[in-house]
Structure 1
């Protein structure tokens, strides 16, 4: 073969080789994919670790906060024991309460701004400032204040609530009702009763030239007795006073001063 033929053959071989495309082995591509998956798994593990640690930190922070709040609530509690005397105190909002003898009252200074509530065991007189609802909790029931002045008397499972101003809502096991000024509600073994507050009698009642029959009627009402024989003294008038807490002194003041003999027997007064 001459030189020219050899050159032509070499040229054909070069052309053939230039058309050949070399491919990387298949396992090299798999390694690349595996590397990508490994990096993704590592990123996922880092995120999961962060979430886990964040959850642990949140739980720890929550425990710390609850512990601090628990300490604040516990050490902010105020307990009042009246013992044998009345104890007057002013609550954080300026409300006034008089704790009667042998009674106890407690409240929490820390939670007061969120919830005005006292725990009462016994008897207390309240004068409440305006603001959020004021609550009194006793072993016998609860009182929600819608007004300003009221009294609560609790003895075991029995409770008496008297309202002087505004209104209060009383909640006991048997009923829920609103008590208005001048009313009282009593809850005991006999049930729940709502009635008007009886106005206390003044210690002394004075009369100025009042017919004796009117005075006799007042004596019967005040002391729950019956007076008979007063018809023959219908023309007499009385000027003076009677003691509403002492019947004997009242009878002396009225009938002895009028010269009327009398006799007392079993709740009945006979004028002679």
Structure 2
């Protein structure tokens, strides 16, 4: 991993050969290396996510005449205060998109002129941040923490990295594409989760079609159904009932069904902006339960108590270890 990446912005990352290779053809080793680097430099997460989305949209073509980027940046800076069509969700969330949206727009414009790519409409959230987004067709999106969303001018072709809930206006085909699978609908409500190696879709209204690279035929979901990408690359369908059928994170509740504590810790990190340290033996324990996003102390208590664990908080660092049995 290059130390100089600490000083790179999203434009520089998106033009770096090693970074492009990782985004386009990431190996498990490269994924682990970048995740480790982001854990050490959490302040660069938004830059990396922005660069990832832009690289995914690049069509590499012959070089075009050089552009006076200094002059271009000056023009962009003068016009960066245009309002974004987003709003924060929940009292404890931080509204950070104003400047982030301006920077993302600037990056997209430079890439459009320099590389000849289509300008994406880009929205991203940081840790502790939820956003409500209104798309051009008036479809509504709730974007969870540490997630990135881009869309075309119609607002009906979406790329997602992270988690979002969609309430889609009726109309032409509406497509949500992730690195792990694709969801296509006409008008409906559904939730998409796409992080690390996990891809999960839950339908709450209407019908959705879900496909994956290893499952081209895909599956059809109706309300009360979900599907998840299995280890073999096929989509596994579930019939849900009661609380299972709800989209809990919209109510600031985060539910887990026999998932490793590692995944639970990652969600706590996203929702509270902390870094959790725990031994691998603890992180691999499977967990059934939930935590609420209104209090870090309460969330840690809800997660650690069933496993006889204890936590300590020092600033933004949380340490979790086995509880003293004496």
* Structure with higher RCO (Cα < 8 A, 6+ apart): 2
TM-score relative to the length of structure 2: 0.37
Higher strand share: 1
TM-score relative to the length of structure 1: 0.44
Q: Which has the larger radius of gyration?
A: 1
